[in-house]
Structure 1
Amino acid sequence: MELKKKKPFQGITTWMKVVVACLLSKVLPAPSKPIILIGGNLGEKYEDNAAAFHSYLMKNCQQSYAVHWMYDPSASYVHEKRIENAVMLGSFKNYVLFFQAAYTVHGHSLMYDIAPSIDKYIFWNKNTIMVHISHGIECFKKILIQPEDVPLLERCDVFNCASSYEKDIKLNEWGMPEEKLPITGMARFDHLTYNQPVSEVKTILMMMTWRETLFGLSDTEFIESSYFQATEKLITDSVLNQLLSVNKVTIKIILHPFMKKFESYFTELGTIHSNIEFYTYGELFIQDEIQKSDMLITDYSSIFWDFVYMNKPVVFYTFDQKEFLEMRGSYLDLNHDLLGWKANSASEVIHALTRILEQGETENPRFADLSNYFSFTDRNNCERLANYMFSLNTSNSKLRDNT
């Protein structure tokens, strides 16, 4: 599945860069410090676990390691956030550093976060320790492995886990060797306050996940899809909008990045009701919105863990549960394991919101169950992952010999 459009002759130019970079890395002097390359969100945003771990490394490890953030050249956040040692994805420097690196850390995929199209040449790099930090905790969507993913997964050395629950998924469902699955916790939760419920709900974040069935739809087909119909039915409901208006509550809807083709159909809806705002994925920093928002409405997005961790309400709008399970499947039992309010229809979402807003039920009703899925709430997840990763310096025979 191609997540980015390729430029003309990109395959040839990439091959040339990779070949020369690989050869050059063998004759260049050893780096003065071990190199760490880290990236996430296809280089387009500074979010999630990869960004949190990068921030930790920059603050705590620069004396001993040369840390580089990988970014998409079309993105502006590197300059806005003044990210040091940022390297453009697909540049010649990118590939040279890839073959010199002691470690790489990626949130989505090596071929999108660290080095474009490197799946074809991944085994040319036999020395770098490669860490898949993941962009979220595995729970909803069962893994969908594409042919280009196989060599990347096989080559990866570490798939860190939030808990024994997630480790069990990666061990028994993904088929990953147990020695590649340390339980360290997830980096981004170091920036969240555990068990801090709000006194009242004034800002609701709404984020719906993607469906593979939406790829390739025409505009007409998309408008007729259950995905759009269910979203439209909810946000145009007069009872909902009266409820928001009376309680002075705003819903901020952030569209999935793959929704770009259909953004206009949602933003048009946002002009109808003043209490509902639509934003594209690139307009806001998700981690900021998570902390500022008082509750979440979602379908099957793993972002719900952030809200449960803070003990904030979550409403799951599972309007297409049967189709979702048939299409992709879920590791969670969607009838019993959802940590929040479950709503199969727009009217059930509104019923849950009424209880939350008018009866003050602002804590997550399933907060006590979080301990079944999280091993750590001490905000030391980055430190644990870093210590484990660096411990491979002596225990992993693939480590580059820089002497």
Structure 2
Amino acid sequence: MELKRKKPFQKLTVWIKVSLAYLAVKLLPQKPSLPIILVGGNLGEKYEDNASAFHEYLMKNFQEDYRIHWMYDPDTSYVQEKGIEHAVPLGSFKNYLLFFRAAYTVHGHSLMYDIAPGIDKFIFWNKKTIMIHISHGIECFKKILINPEDVPLLERCDVFNCASQYEKSIKKEEWGMPEEKLAVTGMARFDRLPYNHPVTEVKTIMVMMTWRETLFGLSEAEFLESEYFQATEKLLNHGVLNRLVTEHDVTLKVVLHPFMKPFESYFTSFGSSRQHIEFKTYDEISIQEEILYTDMLITDYSSIFWDFVYMNRPVIFYTFDQESFLKMRGSYLDLDEDLLGWKADTAEEVIHSLIRILEQGQTENPRFDELSSYIDYTDRKNCERLANHIFSLTPGERVQSASR
């Protein structure tokens, strides 16, 4: 699956840059003054999630010991706006040169999108770098979808961090990852969140639905007829929902998935006449900041629900297409038993749960006590544990030992 639109002659330009960078490192070996670390996430398009949390930690604690680079999409402006130091544009010659000289790489989604575009065809040219998959969320809802280009990238990775023994078991049994590559260090982004910090009153609600592979390639007419759009429209246009948020002066923040760009206008029209509904696109906001300052969540199958449970805040799961979702992708969770919050199969059931939260003051997560079954650490030392594990590995040695 292509997550980015390819540019003209991209395969050729990638091959030229990668080949020249590889030859330059081979023919003109230069030992860097400090070991190099490349960090990237969210396809280079945003400074978000576990990758950015870990990058911030490294920049704060290890700049004297390592040369740390953030990898970014050159078509974006956030690096300049945030003043991120030592940032390198993805796809540049410098990008590939640093890739072959790096001691460590850390990525949230994929090596070929976060660290070095198109590198899947050349990944085994790099035999010495320790490569870490930090993950962008706890694996639970969607079963992993492994495309052909993902196989060499997953095989080449040296470390897959895990939030808990629960997640480690998924990556070992379901993904087939060797146990020696799995490190239970916790989720880096949870270091930014207050643990068990419920609100006294709900004033802001995030609505965030995840994507479906079946929505790719639909015409506008087909999308408007889809179960996904129909269910979302029914909820946002529900008269009782709009009465509740108006009476309780609640702001409903609808965050649209980045793949929703072609259809954004159909959603934003819902809120044009309602002052309590705001629509936010992926490009406009920082998800991590929105989570921190939002009182509760309505979602279908987004892994950000863990952030709200971690803070002991309400979550309503709007599982309107559970049967088709399970057939299409499958889930590691039992969607009838394991959801840590209120489960709602219909818009009416969402409203019923919302009444309990807003009118009866049930502002804590009803299944918060079960969080410990899925998350091992709440001490805000997840980045520290991951760094200690990574730096205990010597570049060049782990790959050789794994191949014997």
Q: State the TM-score, normalized to the length of structure 2.
A: 0.98
CA distance in structure 1 between the partners assigned to 2:368 and 2:169 by the alignment:
22
SS of the residue aligned with 1:297?
strand
Return structure 1 stretches of 4+ with deviation > 4 angstroms. Answer: none
Shift of the alpha carbon at 1:28?
3.1
Unaligned ranges ≥5, structure 2: none
CA distance in structure 1 between the partners assigned to 2:51 and 2:351 by the alignment:
35
1:334-357 deviation per Cα after TM superposition (whole angstroms, max 9, x unaligned): 000000000000000011000000
- Corresponding letter in the other structure for 1:45: K
CA distance in structure 2 between the partners assigned to 1:326 and 1:216 by the alignment:
19
Q: Which residue is 2:38 aligned to?
A: 37
CA distance in structure 1 between the partners assigned to 2:386 and 2:341 by the alignment:
29
- Corresponding letter in the other structure for 2:219: S
Aligned 1:4-403 pairs, distance under 5 A? 4-26=4-26, 27-393=28-394, 396-398=397-399
- Corresponding letter in the other structure for 1:16: I
**Which has the larger displacement, 294-303 or 21-30?**
21-30
CA distance in structure 2 between the partners assigned to 1:207 and 1:126 by the alignment:
40
Shift of the alpha carbon at 1:25?
1.2
SS of the residue aligned with 1:201?
coil
- Corresponding letter in the other structure for 2:13: T
* Contact 2:105 2:131 survives alignment (8 Å): yes
CA distance in structure 2 between the partners assigned to 1:203 and 1:396 by the alignment:
50
CA distance in structure 2 between the partners assigned to 1:94 and 1:388 by the alignment:
25
1:1-21 deviation per Cα after TM superposition (whole angstroms, max 9, x unaligned): 011111111111110000010
CA distance in structure 2 between the partners assigned to 1:172 and 1:345 by the alignment:
33
CA distance in structure 1 between the partners assigned to 2:252 and 2:77 by the alignment:
27
- Corresponding letter in the other structure for 2:6: K
1:77-127 deviation per Cα after TM superposition (whole angstroms, max 9, x unaligned): 101110000000000000000000000000000000000000000000000
CA distance in structure 2 between the partners assigned to 1:149 and 1:155 by the alignment:
10
- Corresponding letter in the other structure for 2:343: K
- Corresponding letter in the other structure for 1:191: R
**Which has the larger displacement, 7-16 or 358-367?**
7-16
CA RMSD of aligned residues (A): 1.0
Shift of the alpha carbon at 1:201?
0.0
1:127-157 deviation per Cα after TM superposition (whole angstroms, max 9, x unaligned): 0000000000000000000000000000000
CA distance in structure 1 between the partners assigned to 2:268 and 2:13 by the alignment:
39
CA distance in structure 2 between the partners assigned to 1:178 and 1:395 by the alignment:
19
CA distance in structure 2 between the partners assigned to 1:9 and 1:313 by the alignment:
49
Unaligned ranges ≥5, structure 1: none
* Contact 2:128 2:395 survives alignment (8 Å): no
Shift of the alpha carbon at 1:272?
2.8
1:298-338 deviation per Cα after TM superposition (whole angstroms, max 9, x unaligned): 00000000000000000000000000001000000000000
SS of the residue aligned with 1:239?
helix
CA distance in structure 2 between the partners assigned to 1:398 and 1:237 by the alignment:
56
CA distance in structure 1 between the partners assigned to 2:159 and 2:29 by the alignment:
27
CA distance in structure 1 between the partners assigned to 2:202 and 2:64 by the alignment:
44
CA distance in structure 1 between the partners assigned to 2:79 and 2:336 by the alignment:
42
CA distance in structure 2 between the partners assigned to 1:257 and 1:107 by the alignment:
16
- Corresponding letter in the other structure for 1:2: E
- Corresponding letter in the other structure for 1:86: A
* Contact 2:158 2:398 survives alignment (8 Å): no
Shift of the alpha carbon at 1:396?
3.4
Shift of the alpha carbon at 1:228?
0.3
* Contact 2:129 2:396 survives alignment (8 Å): no
Shift of the alpha carbon at 1:394?
7.6
SS of the residue aligned with 1:182?
strand
Aligned CA distance change for structure 1 residues 328 and 320 (closer, same or farther; 3 Å): same
Q: State the TM-score, normalized to the length of structure 1.
A: 0.98
- Corresponding letter in the other structure for 1:141: K
**Which has the larger displacement, 48-57 or 389-398?**
389-398
* Contact 2:103 2:395 survives alignment (8 Å): no
SS of the residue aligned with 1:96?
helix
What percentage of aligned pairs have identical amino acids?
Answer: 72
Shift of the alpha carbon at 1:398?
4.1
Task: Name the count of aligned residue pairs.
Answer: 399
